[in-house]
């Protein structure tokens, strides 16, 4: 799974840690962008415009 099955030992472990680190960074940037893009609209939709 995730293309790392052929790896073994420390290389496999490093790949696992790297994938989790990569996902965390992608999520941080992705959700950050999403928040900037639609955050205000969602807040307005929930709370109504002041």
Partner 1 sequence: MMELFGMSATLIVLFVGFGLMIGVLFGFFGMGGSFLVTPALLVMGYPSRVAVGSGLAFVFGTSVIATLKHRDLGQVDYKLGVSMIIGTTIGIEVGKELVLHLETLGLAGNIISVTYVVLLGGIGLFVTYESLKGRSGGVDHDVDADAEVDADDIPDIAKKIQSYRVPPMLTLRGGIEVSLWMVLAVAFVTGLLSGFLGVGGGFIRMPALFYLIGVPVPIAVGTDLFEIVFSGGIGSFLYAQSGGVDLSIVAPLLAGSALGARVGSAATSLVDEEGIKIYFGLMLLGGATAVAVRQVGNAYGIDVLNTVSFALIIGSALLVSGAVVYSSVQALREERNPAPSTAD
Q: How far is the CB of 50 from partner 1 (least distance, A)?
A: 5
Residues numbered 1-50 forming contacts with partner 1, rule: CB under 8 A: 1-2, 9-10, 12-14, 16-17, 19-21, 23-25, 27-28, 31, 35, 43, 46-50
CA torsion, ordered 5, 27, 34, 36, to nearest 10 deg: -160
Determine if residue 49 is left, alpha or beta; phi over 0 gives left, psi from -120 to 50 gives alpha, anything else beta: beta
Q: Which helix (H) or strand (E) covers residue 36, if one does? A: helix 9-47
**Rule CB under 8 A: which residues touch partner 1?**
1-2, 9-10, 12-14, 16-17, 19-21, 23-25, 27-28, 31, 35, 43, 46-50
């Amino acid at each position: 799974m995730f293309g790392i099955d052929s790896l073994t030992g420390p290389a496999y472990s490093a790949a696992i840690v790297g994938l989790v680190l990569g996902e965390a960074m992608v999520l941080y940037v992705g959700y950050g962008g999403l928040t900037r893009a639609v955050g205000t609209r969602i807040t307005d939709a929930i709370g109504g415009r002041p």
